[in-house]
Structures are given as structure tokens and as C-alpha cells.
Structure 1
Amino acid sequence: MYCQECAVTCHGDHPLHHVREWNGRYFTSKTLKELGLIMQLGHPIGKRCCRPWSFLKDEFVVMHRNRIHIVSLTFCGCETTDSYTQQLLCIHWLPAPSNKPHTAAITLSHHSDNTGLNPPTARYKQFLRMVHQWHHLKMFKHSGQGHDPAGVLNTKEGECAVLCPVCPQPRKNMMGSPERDVDALFVTLDANFCLRHHAVSNNENNLSLSQGWVYFHMLKSHNATGIGMVVCARHGMRLPNGIVDLQYGERYVNMDYAFASALHHSDVTVLKVLYNIACQWHKKLYQQMDQMPPSLQSNLCDQAVTFLIPKFHLPAHIASCQWSFSFNWTKGVGQTDGEEPEHGWANLNPAASSMKTMGPGHCQDTLDDYFGDWNWKKLIGLGASLLRKVKEAIPECNDHQRDFEELTWSLKLKFPEQLTLWKQQVEDWEADSTKPNPFEVKNDSITQASICLQLAKDEADALVGGSELLLHPDVTPSILIGAGIDLEDQHNALVRQIEAWQKLQVLFIASVSALQDEWPEFAISGKVTCPPKLAMIELQLREGQVHDALNDLHQGLRSHAYMLKFKDHFLCALYTKINTAATRYCVAYQALTILAPWLDKLDKDISALTDAYDLQPGEGWHHVSWIWCANLNSILAIHVEWCKAHACTHHWEEEVRLLFEEKQHTLQFLEWHANWWMGCASAIATGDKALSNGCHAYAEHQAELQHQLTRSFADMWKDTQCFLDVANAYSCHSAIG
């Protein structure tokens, strides 16, 4: 160690060295510029120019292989001196093109004669092994395992992972406080099939150095078709031991093991579990947990577990799943979307081509290193990310609250008794999910298929009783009419294809437009007489066709309202589906006007339910289109929309509460981690004074880093409570006005 003056003197010809200063507790990084070193070009070391020229801010940037340096540098201004560029080249610094360069880079040269006749000895494989070992040692150092008195071999599974400071962790950021709804742990599962791995070695020849101490479990020497992962659903951090390899696709046994392995590190009793196939996966999960190794078994029956499907994946599921596993209606989830794993794959996938031919151990350790880097970057970015979410959530919460209150006030004038009942239904369902779901849109049970089945049963009974003769061995009256309706649908589809083709034909053969005749439209004539029984059968089947078409139209319009949030080009197929359903309804309606009295209305009423009225303050709401009320009480449709508005408003309120609670969790965790490092400072008992001092200094340095993060985050968030109070006061004032 040197004093400041000696350090500057010794580095007169080494201005790019990296030095560290002892502050009494630990070493801190310092630059030679900060210590007072000034480089003089054009003169011998230690000599000063009588006419020096320096930069205005005295900052010259040098790009070196060890880091980017800012040095204090003066050029020689003597009359006989070289140009500034030549002065830099004389010390082998390549300047940026400029008359007065402010930046330079260290010039590198080949370590051979560049002929290939005498190549240097290759050491690439040995270098990769050194890099592998260096990453492993740095992992131990950063996780504090080097301070364990029992040695690094005492490391437990997952102890080297970078933990999520925001997620609830008893004894770390939940000091003695009872668990609440805002202390739920959100985890999501997902798989990645880009990260395939070939069986190029085995565990004996390529053993993992981490041995399950970080994120991954031990790989086996076989092909892996991808990896399965368990992630913190709200913050995107990989959970300890939550990564497994997949052998034959996304099998339940692999994902069950990843889930159990990640969960056994947590003592939280309120869980929100997200998986894109949670509707099927959760059915036997409780039994599978009992079959896990004893160290991984957890009694989910003693925990409050809610299974959900991520928002982007949910529309691909059937209607019953969309109502039962949706974030939109579940209490206590805020604005969580569950798609956090997808954000991290783009960061990792570029490395897939390199890792697929690694040995199993090296591949596992490389993935652990990637995931550790991802978690650390997430951690240091929590200050800005939580602040951004708070700034977004508070105005949205107030806006939705104001809109919901306006809607509720409007409904009280016309449906006061029903509104009280709706509130009770929502509260009952939130307390017990086995109760009727108030958010579910009840579809009409009358369908064309159900009517066909009933007609077939009636005809079979008539044949058995002898009241009807069989005119054809394979065709009954209901089959005849049903086949005609199916042919009608095929005919209409063919007409649309021909019309589209004819439009293209005109582009290539202009003269054909004068010869094209209108395609004869299929129409039902009331002049054709048929047996009354057949007319009654067709009436029943047409009624089923009408209901099927309306159900398809409902689904298409709901999907249209959802898809408008995304790219327009996703809507093309949806428009076709809506138009097809509307055409089917029109054809069936045309038949029904002949077979039975009906009302004349449709085209102008095709609109989504949420388009039919406006929730903006002062505008109230309008009548809902009749297509949403056919065979339903109109109050039921309004009931569902009110329940949805109620849930959306409460979710924004929950999001604000969750974010403010997450801020406290983060600060408490960082404080706990700083104290943990201070405890490590005196943990090692050794007779080597230098080793003891080094361990003590490193632990104090890490504790200070945690304190610095705490102060930085607290400074970022200092105005959030004031922002919330002002927003709430403005919202109350607007409501009173």
C-alpha cells in the first residue's frame, strides 16, 4: 500500500491502472485522476511543458481493455512539438478523428507475425475452463458463502441465488407482522423450447460446479428439449431451484418438480399460482406434491392457493376456463398479468445456440450465471420500475373509481334493489368460488345440436310406437332438414369465395366484367308447399340455428373488443367470423319470417356490449343492443357489466396497495441484507490476520452497497405518498363537485 503522493508518482507511466483506496473499513475504487495524476504529453515523465494545452473540463476519455478511463491530460504546446494526434500516437493511443481529440483507444497488435507460419499454441479450451471457474468463484463471493465458518461445502440448495426483495419473505421483509392479502406470493410457470441441449457428455466428465446451489437442478446426460421455469410473477425474478430441464416436451412431472423445488424455499401461506394450462395442471397437483421427495413436500391444503391463467393465454381457453381462472375477476391480484416469464426469454434465447452443445454441467452453470445476472439487473432497477408503476396506477385508480361511481349512481335510479343484490353476489363469490359466478355471461342452452338430438329421440320413439312410417332406411325428416341447412351454409360460403374470385378476375380480365351475371342468391320461397311436420321440424332447427349464430356473434364481438387492444392485423380473421355469424343469422331469420312471425331487425344492432353505452362521467349509459338480450332479461346483461366495472375498479385499488406494500418490502429486505452482511463480517475465525481483515472489509463493503440501494430507492419514492394524497384529495373534490 502507498500513500496518495507515492501512488501518483509510481503511476506516472501507468495512467490506466485501476487503484483502490482504503477508507478505514473497506477498499473503494478510485481513479488516478481523482488522486491528482496529470499526464503530460511531448515531454519526459515528470517534466512539465511551459506552454501546456488542456481541455476545458479536463476530461480525456481512454478506452482500454480493462475499463473506460477518464484521465487528466495536457498536450505539449511548444512551437516545435508534434500535432495533438501525433503526440497520442507516440504513446500508442489511437485518437478519434479530430483536430483536437477528446477520446482515444489503446492500440492492440497480433501476438504473431500474421503469416500463420508460426501460430501461437492454442489454449481456447483451457481459457473456457478458467472462465467457468472464475464465474463460479465470483458466485460464491457475491452470495457470501466464502464467509461461512463451515466452508463453501456447507452451502445449501438455492443459497447462492439473488433473491427477490419485493416478494414477501418471512424473517427478511415481514418482520413479525401477520400475513395479509397483500403478502401473497405470486409465482408463474413457463417453458422454453429454444434452450435445447444435446447429450454431448455426461455428469461424470462434465460435472456442474454449482450442484443445485443457485437456480438449476442437476442435469442428466441426455437430450433436453427445453427448460421449465418458476418465476416471481410480479417482478420477473427467477426463484431459487425453480429451473428444470425437459426431456419430452412440457410434461407435468417436470413442471411439478420445478414448482415443488421453488416453493420449498418459501414459508408464505398465501399463494397465487399462474400457469397457461393451470385449468388442467392443478387437478392432480395436490396428490403429486405428496409423491415428491420428503425435502420438497409441502402441504398445499394448509395454504390459501389460487390458480390462474396468464391474461394473454386466457382467450385461447374454453369459456368455462375464462370465467374460472381469470385475473379480471379474482380478488387480491391487482393488475398482475402473469406474462412475466415471456419478458426474460428474449434476453436468454440468443445464447441458446452456444449452450446446446455444452456439457451438462457447463450448460447448467452458464444458465445459472445468466439468471443471476438477470435477477441482479432486476433488483437494481426496482427503484425506477416501482416508481413508474405507482405513477401509472394512482391516476388509473382514481379514473376507474370515478367512472364506476357514475355508473352505480345511474343504476341506483332504475334498479336499486337489483344493485344491492349484485353487490352481495360479488361478495359471496369472492368469499366462496363455488357460489354462482356473477361475472359469467350465461349462454343460451338452446342450440341446433340439442334440437337435432331431441328430434332424433322423438323420431325413434315414433318408429318404435308405430305412429310413423320409415320412408328411407338412412334418412329421417330431421336428418333431411338438417342436411339441407348444412348445404345452405356451404352454399353461402361458396358464394362468398366465388364473389371474391370474380373481383380478382376483373383485375386480370377487364372485359369479363360485362359478361358476369349475378350469382343467384339462395332464398326460401313461401309459395312452396310441404308437409306441416317438415315445416315444424325446420322451424325447430332454424330456431336452434338462430341461437347458434347469436352465440357465435356474441363470442366474436367479445373477442373483437378484446383484440382492439392489440395490432389491427389480428382482427382480419375475427371480422370474417363475425360476418359469417351475422350471415348465418340473417339466413335463419329469413326462413323464420316465413315459418313463424318474427321481428325485423339486425344489421344496425350488431355492436359489442361495452360499445352500447359510455361510462364517462356525465354521459350515463344507453340501451344495450337487442342481440345481447335475446332470450335474456336485459337486466342480466347490465348486471354482468356492472360486476366487471366493480372488479376493474377494485383491482386498481389493490394494485396501489400492493405497490406501496412492495416498496416497504424492498426497503426492509435491503436493510435485512445489510445486517446479514455485517453479521458475516466477524463470522470467520482464522489465525490469518490478512484473510480475516479481507473478509471483514468485503462484508462491510457489501453491507454499504445495500445501504446505498436503500437510500437511493427511498429517495426515488419519497414523494409517492404525497402524490397519492393529492390524487385522492382531487378525486374527492371532483366527486363533491
Structure 2
Amino acid sequence: MMLDRVISGEGRGKRRLWAACGECGEAEPTLRCRDQDCLGGQMFCRRCILLRHAALPLHWVEEWDGRKFTRRGLKEIGLRVQLGHAPLEAGPGLPGHNRGAICAFRTTANKDFVVLHTNGIHNVAVDYCGCGRSEEARDQLLDACWWPATPMDPQTCCTFTLLRHFHTLNTLGKVSGYDYYRSLELLTDNTGNVKLPDRRRPFMRCAREWRNIQLFKRAGRAHDPGGIEGTEDGGLSLFCHACPQPQINLPENWRDEPASTAFKYFLHLGQDANFRLRGRLVSSDAKDPTLGQGLAYFVNKIPYTEHIKNYVNQDEISSCSGFAAMFLANLKRVKGLRTSGVGGVTCTRHNMWRANGMGDLQKGERYCNMDWVLASSMRNCEILYVIFTYDIACQYYKNFWDRMRKLPQYLHLNIPPSNLFFYVPNFHLPPHKDDCHGPFSLHFAPGVGMSNGEGIEQNWENSNGAASQTKQMGPGSRQDTLDDILGAHNYRKTLALRRILLKRMIEALKEGVKHRRALDAFTAGLESAEEGLTARWEKEEREWQQDKSKPCPYRVIRKGTSLIFKWRRLTSISGKTMKDIELELAKEEFEVTASNVQVVHESSRSMFVVMGLEIEEAQRVLDFDVRAKKAATTYQELEFQKRRNELKRKIDRFRTLQDIYMPALRDELQPEQAALLKTNAKKEVESIKLFLPSALSSNKRANACAPGVSDIEERLRLGEATDALETLRDGLRMRTVTNCFKIENITGQRSNTRAQGIQHQIDVKIHSAKAYAALVGPGPWANLLQVLGDEDVRALNERALTTEEKAEEERMRDGGLLNELASGGVAAAGVVVTGEGRRTLSWIWYTGAAGGMGEGEQSAAANEALRAEWCKGMARAARWREEIILLEEEMRRSITSAEYMAGKWEERARWRAAAEVDAGGALAAELAEGLAGYAYEHASTARVRVGVLRAAWAEVREKAKIVLDGLDSGNLVDVTVATRVETDENESGDHGMYEELHD
């Protein structure tokens, strides 16, 4: 039915539409304009349709030849566009009455004059006004909202509508200029039978000029008496409304804030390098200069380049991370590139780019580049304390202040060395050496809240969409485009603060109470066993915060060779952890690359296997979470689906690599198994079988896999199992003691519930580790790393379940009455209990060790693990409390910043006019009105935003006061927030804020 209705529009339609001209009544007219701004399919005669389109010269019309319609431009049927005068229009009641005027002194534009509009490429007949009051052709075109490609004798124009349209698509969707122009060609003629004028280069020039003018316009440079020439470095950038900004959103006495809450005014910055935003050796700075050198987000290139020349032979920053070999391998691919990437700085709390916080890299990630970019982004910074995160901060901080002193004086930082704190982002920290984990972890850093330091990585995800187009550009075009894209990102993040801060606050109110309650229960249990124990640990933690050379309280320091609490590593097998093996493989592959051996794919064999292992773990975790929520809410189902979508994409990438490194896999599988390799297989992604080499028999594995792949998996599996066993033991040590406290010291329903919360956290760690302990292939390890069953996962003071208890547990689990986690045993209290004679230790406690120790040493070792776990719990509770305080302050600052901008724009409305009067002149009336209109429009928008933010955050800010009072007094209060968070799963920069484990 709908198809028939649509296809009927390819003819003239109902008779009433074509029997007579819709304006003058002439019989059987032949022209119509439909499917644009003109409504319906009414047909008109030539004279009337020209009069109706005198002010709509960029419509397409269709002409009926008796059998079909043929598309025509309005120029083809005689329309001429008169600039500088009102257009010809049909007068009321008098068809064809001339209400406009044709200039008697008109001059004709180029005969090939072309206008680019959102609906295609138009040849237009244009007449310029030549009267005494006439203006330059360029100005007449601009008054018509047509942007000329050249200032003198233009032959091409782009409509303002088209430039806005492309500008939005380019900054948001990263649509390239080439692709956009190709779309205009297809909209104009999709048959390929018509030769269209090639105006791609003029379009690119117009788009670049437009984005540059918009930057100046939105920064208020038209209102400033200094104009464009008076723009300071970074003056075109958008500042973060939620970050501390002196003279903008901070109270006058902010410098006098007590030490206990001074962290509210810390500035959180993050730095990183990105090797995807490369630039080819195309054009030159002389032929393609930037239109705003150093005025937005990129550093001023001139002094930056002079500085870099002094460090031509400087090596890349070293890293203790296991990723170092891969970084080095990436550096080899720089041939034909002017820039190998960029280094950037953002505020890590809100993921907004800093002014002058971006710079091109020439050869890897070197100190000379990164120092300049950081110092430039902090130029004139008045904040007293800075939290700085960098994935290689553990190396970067060394000699940092010596390097700063070598920079020009105007880039020297205004803060003392003791007030700049270096940390590694949460996701990047685990691969670092153990010695880095405590001092450089945000989890243990006072005053940082729940910041993860990974914001810049999320920003790269957004900007990398432009990599393919900017890589081909000349230096100036590339920098101008990236400046614009970074600015658009900052603007969208400013708008998103309402949703993001609300979402974070709701989460923090819940988590703050939960973690404090868990800590209090844990502390009470410990204190009941040994009074003053936690106070001693807390004192040790404070001392460590002051002197990081002391033992880290968050790290378990194992001593001796206790049967229970200390095991030697499986040196007879591998002697290496998972990360040791990954680094070893990365170095081997780098050596192969360095030897000019041909590499078949960008992703190596080890990366393929590691990807498979990571996917398997993600599948296990997702499957566990889904089964644990049998009656999931709509929101939970949405979160599960998002995780399935992401996992599906990873599996698709894995299958692509599998075709390379396991090329004969399909031949070795049964038909029903081979069907599972299809990416559209109808199975839940958490149950899709990957078919890693270990899943095949030895013969099939030899036939299916590329050389070395099976060996790599065996090495990684062994390291994985070794790590898992160590983690399992750590977790069970926690459960051993908490079982004792729960049975012997904790009574009452409320206390038992709290204790169960602590045990649940430990159980999650144990079974997450257990999922890794899948071993492949026979070997001597079998006596040390045995198959791990649920009954093996038992603490020292837990006995194995009986057959009846196992059956009952399974029944309760199936009925949803029991958590999906298997307990493995029943807690036993006391020295001798029922069944003690038959109770046996799980193999995990004595594998790989020999000898025994006394009860006193066992207790000391248990306390060592407990201390680390308690300190982590204390840190988690403290960080969530800080997060609530920080979010409340960020909400206040965001509102104050919007008020500031409203006042700023109201001032700008009068700036230039007042300056002209002071100089003895006056602005043209139309310019003065335009300046005021634009300024008051922005002021009004800012005022509305103030009201919107106040209303959106009013409830959670009140609830935050209640929760904080409870946390400080010890009378914990659970609050319910009625305000709902708008869901925007495509909003970049906030996902992952709380998704990583914070312990």
C-alpha cells in the first residue's frame, strides 16, 4: 500500500494537481517542485513557478514531457537571481505583480557560477547590484547567506546552511570533506550520465574558512575591540565549567580552605600520546599555513619547533610497563610522515581538552615534546595543587623539575614541586612493576575521589574517527580541523555535564554508604580480636602517605616458606607470571620485526592468543552476571545487551585474526562446530566457543594452527594458572579469618548481614581467579597445578561439603535462593570441631611448598594479608566520600561558570560600541545590532542553563548533605533519589568511570 502510494508520485498524481496551474489557472501545466521545502505535488506553469521561486533559487523542479518527469535546475527554465534588491514575488491577488526590483545597473556574475547547497550542486544565474548604494560582490553574496570561495570575482559559493550542515557532521560524525562533496554529487545526479562541475577544492576552502570564522565568532572576538589580531594563545578554546577556574567559579577565599577539604580545589590533569592522529608528509607550512596558530588547542608551533630542534637525538620515554615492546615496534612505522602522532592534555574528571594542550610528535613519545605540551597547557595556572596522571608517570616524574627549568620562562609552572602529584591511570597500572602499584595508584591517593585518570583515552576514541581524513591533509588544514573537532568535543561535554554529574552523584551516594558500612563491619570484627589493630594499621598508612620509602600498607609482604601462607613460585615449571610471559613474547616479536622479517598482520600471534583469553574471561564474567540476576530490571537488561554488543565486536575481530593464525580450523571441525565460527551464529555471545588451540586435539591443533601459536597459548596458560593460584590463595586467606570473626564474634542479624557483604567481595575475587585456572596438555605441572573444582575452593577453616549439602546447595541455587558463587565448604570454628578428623586441606594450600611453621607465624602472615585488605577497604570508603564532596563542588562550579558566561556575554554586547565611542567614532547600526543580538542570545542561553542545572541537581545535592553528615557522624543513612538520569549510550567520555574494580 505504501509502496503504491510512493510510486504514484513518480507520475503527476491526482488530476486536481495537474489539471490547471496552481497559481494562474493555465491548463495542464508541466512543472512542479516537490520533495523539498515546497509542500505537495501541485503543478505550475513556467511563469508562476519562477515567481514562486524567486526567493528559493536552490530548489530543483521537475518537468513533465508527456511520459515522465525530468529534473531541471531553475536556471534552465529562466530564473535569474538579483542580489542587492528584494526578490521578485507574486503579490496578493495580483499573480505576477512585481514587488521587487531588477537593478538597472546590474552586472552579471560568471556564466559558470555554482552554488553548493545541502540538496546538490546548482548552476545559478546571478546578477550583482550596480547602483550607487551597491557593495562589493563578496558582501552581496554574504548578505544572501552565500559564502564565496574567493574574495575577488567568485565563481563558487557555499550556502551557510550547507556549511553548518557539514560542520556538524564533520565534528560529530567525522564525515570527511571528500565524502560530503561526493554526497552532493550523488544528490545532484545519481545516474553518472551528467558531467558535473568539479568544485571540491573551493568547497574545502569555504569549509575551512567557515570553521575558522566560527571559532573567532563563538569566542567573542568580534565583540572585543582587539579583534582577531588581539586573540591570545588558547583564546579560542572552551574552558571546563566544572574544573576549578580562579576569577570564574571559585569563591574569593578558596586559597584559605582547610587542609581536610582543600582537595575540592585540586586540578586533575591527564596526559597521553596518540599515534593514530598521524600526518603525512604532504604540502608544507608555507603552502598550507594554519589560520589560528596556537589560538585554540594546539600549541604555538613556532617556539615549539625551535625547542624540539634542540633534542633531535633524545630517546623516547622509557616504561616499566609490559607494553613497552609494542610501543617500540610502533615507532618503526614513521616513514613518509611529518608527524607520528600527537601528545595531549585533558582534565581527567570531565574529559575536556586543555587550551594549548595538544602538540605534534615527530618521533615517538619523547620528554621534549610531552614536557612542552604539559607546560603549555598549565601556563598561568593559579591552582595550588595538581593531580597529574600519565600512563608512564613512574618514569616521567624523574628529573621532571630539572627539565621544566630548561623551558622558556613563560612556560615555567607556578606551583611548588611538592604540590604536583604523579599517578598512573587505573587501567594502565596493573602491567607496571609491583613497586609502582602503591605509590602511583589513584585508589590509594587522598583527595582524588573516584577519578580513574583514563579520561584522555576516551577522548582519543572520539578524535580518532578523524584520523583517516586528517592524515592526508597539509599541516595547516590538519591542525585547523583538529582544533575544531577538539572544540566541538568540549562543547558537547559542557552540555553533557548535567547528565554526567547527576549519574555520578547518584552512584556515589549509594556506594559511599555501602563501602563505609562494609568497612565498619570489617573493622569491628578485627578490633574484637585485637583491640587497636586497625588504629595501628591506619597510622602506618598515614606514615606511608608522608614517606613512600616505607613499606606499602596495601601490599602483602610475604616472608618465610610457610606451608599455608607462603609458596615459592613454580620455578620448576615457568618461574614467570602472566605479565612476565606477555612481555617476553612482545620482546620476541619486536626482535622479529626489527630483523626485517615480514609480518603477516598488524596484530601478532601473542596478541591473538591474549585476545582469546581476554574474551573467554569476559564471557565467563558476563555469563555469571546474567545468571546472578534472574529477574533483571530493564536497566540491567540494557547493560547486559551493551556488554554483549561490545563482546560480539571483539569476537568478530578475533575471528578475523583466527583466519590468519588458525587458517585450517574449519577443515578440522565438525560441520555443526564450523557453523559456530560464523559471526551471525544464533547463540548468546557468552556461550560462543572460540576454538583456541587448546580446544583441539593434538593432531587437529597441528593441522589448524600457524607455527608457534599453540606454544604461545601453552606459555600464557601456564602463567595464567600460576597467577590465578596465587590470587586464589590470597582471597582464601581473607575468608579464613572473616569466617572466624563471623562465627566467633559477630552476632545479630544486622552484623551478620554486614559480614556477609565482606565475604561476598572476597568470594567474587576467588571465583574470578578460579575461572583462569584452565590448563592444557599433560606435563609435570599436573602434580602442582591440578584441576580446580568447587570443592577445592576452601579456606583453612572450612570443611568440604557433604553429598547432601552439595545437593541442597544446587537446589537452592537453581531456585534463585542462593548466590551463584559456590562456597566450596562449610566454615568451622574452634580448634577441634565435628568432622575435624575427616577434614582435609585443599590441594591449593600445600602445592609447591614444603615444611610447616608455628601458629604464631601463621597468624602474622594472615594479619599481613588482612592488613592489606583492610587498608584497601579504608581507601575505598575514603575515596567514595571524597567523590561525593568533589561532585557537589563540581555541580556548584558548573552553575557558577554558566552565570559567569551569561554576565560575560552581556558585557560583550557593549564592549565594541563603547570602545568606538571612546575613540570618537561609532559602529554602523547594523553591526552594532548584530553584535548585541548575538551576545544577548548567548547570555540568554547561559541563563537558561543555570536554571536547568539548578533544577536537575537540586535533589541530589540535598541528599549529598544528608549522606555526608551520616558518613562523618557514623550514623549512616541510605537515601533514595527520585531524579532519573537521561540515558545517552552514545555520549563519549563517561563510560568506564566506575566500571573498573576499585580495589
State whether residues 269 and 303 of structure 1, in contact with CA within 8 Å, keep that contact through their aligned partners in structure 2.
no
Q: Please identify, of 236-245 and 703-712, the stretch whose mean Cα deviation from structure 2 is larger.
A: 703-712
| Equivalent pairs, count | 546
CA distance 1:327–1:699, shift in 2 (3 Å): same
For 2:248 and 2:525, how far apart are their aligned partners in 1? 48
State whether residues 443 and 551 of structure 1, in contact with CA within 8 Å, keep that contact through their aligned partners in structure 2.
no
Match of 1:669 in 2: 897
For 1:301 and 1:122, how far apart are their aligned partners in 2? 58
Deviation of the 1:730 alpha carbon: 8.8
Match of 2:378 in 1: 263
CA distance 1:717–1:63, shift in 2 (3 Å): farther
CA distance 1:168–1:734, shift in 2 (3 Å): closer
Deviation of the 1:413 alpha carbon: 0.8
Question: Does residue 713 in structure 1 map to residue 949 in structure 2?
Answer: yes
1:693 to 911, 923, 929: 929
CA distance 1:584–1:176, shift in 2 (3 Å): farther
1:189 to 271, 292, 295: 271
Q: Deviations over 1:530-551 (max 9, x none)?
A: xxxxxxxxxxxxxxxxxxx999
Q: Show the 5 A alignment for 1:198-597.
A: 198-218=280-300, 223-301=338-416, 304-444=419-559, 486=572, 504=697, 553-554=725-726, 576=775
Deviation of the 1:586 alpha carbon: 7.4
State whether residues 237 and 374 of structure 1, in contact with CA within 8 Å, keep that contact through their aligned partners in structure 2.
yes
Structure 2 residue identity aligned to 1:175: P
Q: Show the 5 A alignment for 1:2-17.
A: none
CA distance 1:164–1:45, shift in 2 (3 Å): farther
For 1:694 and 1:506, how far apart are their aligned partners in 2? 79
Structure 2 residue identity aligned to 1:661: E
Deviation of the 1:723 alpha carbon: 2.9
2:238 to 155, 162, 167: 162
Structure 1 residue identity aligned to 2:424: I
CA distance 1:387–1:287, shift in 2 (3 Å): same
For 2:764 and 2:894, how far apart are their aligned partners in 1? 33
For 1:285 and 1:659, how far apart are their aligned partners in 2? 31
Q: Deviations over 1:662-703 (max 9, x none)?
A: 001111111112111122111113322322222122112111
CA distance 1:288–1:711, shift in 2 (3 Å): same
Q: Deviations over 1:80-116 (max 9, x none)?
A: xxxxxxxxxx9969xxxxxxxxxxxx98698688887
CA RMSD in angstroms comes to 4.7
Deviation of the 1:366 alpha carbon: 0.3
Task: Specify the SS of the correspondent of 2:360.
Answer: strand
For 2:434 and 2:394, how far apart are their aligned partners in 1? 12
For 1:238 and 1:727, how far apart are their aligned partners in 2? 32
For 2:858 and 2:784, how far apart are their aligned partners in 1? 13
Deviation of the 1:364 alpha carbon: 0.2
Match of 1:24 in 2: none
Deviation of the 1:440 alpha carbon: 2.0
CA distance 1:246–1:728, shift in 2 (3 Å): closer
Match of 1:125 in 2: 201
State whether residues 553 and 582 of structure 1, in contact with CA within 8 Å, keep that contact through their aligned partners in structure 2.
no
- Decide which structure has the larger Cα Rg and report it: 1
Identity %: 28
Match of 1:641 in 2: 869
TM-score of the pair, normalised by structure 1: 0.65
Task: Specify the SS of the correspondent of 1:240.
Answer: strand
Task: Give unmatched runs, 5+ long, in structure 1.
Answer: 1-39, 48-61, 77-89, 94-105, 448-483, 491-499, 510-548, 588-601, 615-620
Task: Specify the SS of the correspondent of 2:476.
Answer: helix
CA distance 1:581–1:234, shift in 2 (3 Å): farther
Task: Specify the SS of the correspondent of 1:217.
Answer: coil
2:219 to 143, 148, 151: 143
Deviation of the 1:727 alpha carbon: 5.3
CA distance 1:569–1:443, shift in 2 (3 Å): closer
Match of 2:318 in 1: none
Question: Does residue 177 in structure 1 map to residue 253 in structure 2?
Answer: yes
Match of 2:887 in 1: 659
State whether residues 269 and 302 of structure 1, in contact with CA within 8 Å, keep that contact through their aligned partners in structure 2.
no
Q: Deviations over 1:403-447 (max 9, x none)?
A: 111111111111112222112222333344444432222143789
Structure 2 residue identity aligned to 1:152: I
Structure 2 residue identity aligned to 1:722: E
Task: Specify the SS of the correspondent of 2:697.
Answer: helix
Q: Deviations over 1:214-272 (max 9, x none)?
A: 00125579611111110110111000010011111112221111111101142111100
Task: Give unmatched runs, 5+ long, in structure 2.
Answer: 1-15, 25-33, 43-58, 63-117, 124-187, 256-261, 306-335, 563-569, 577-692, 703-720, 733-759, 799-818, 820-826, 830-840, 850-856, 917-921, 975-999
Structure 2 residue identity aligned to 1:119: K
Task: Specify the SS of the correspondent of 1:337.
Answer: coil
Task: Specify the SS of the correspondent of 2:512.
Answer: helix
CA distance 1:74–1:204, shift in 2 (3 Å): closer
CA distance 1:205–1:645, shift in 2 (3 Å): same
For 1:695 and 1:225, how far apart are their aligned partners in 2? 42
Deviation of the 1:345 alpha carbon: 2.1
Q: Deviations over 1:469-507 (max 9, x none)?
A: xxxxxxxxxxxxxxx9859999xxxxxxxxx99982698
For 1:605 and 1:582, how far apart are their aligned partners in 2? 21
CA distance 1:735–1:292, shift in 2 (3 Å): closer
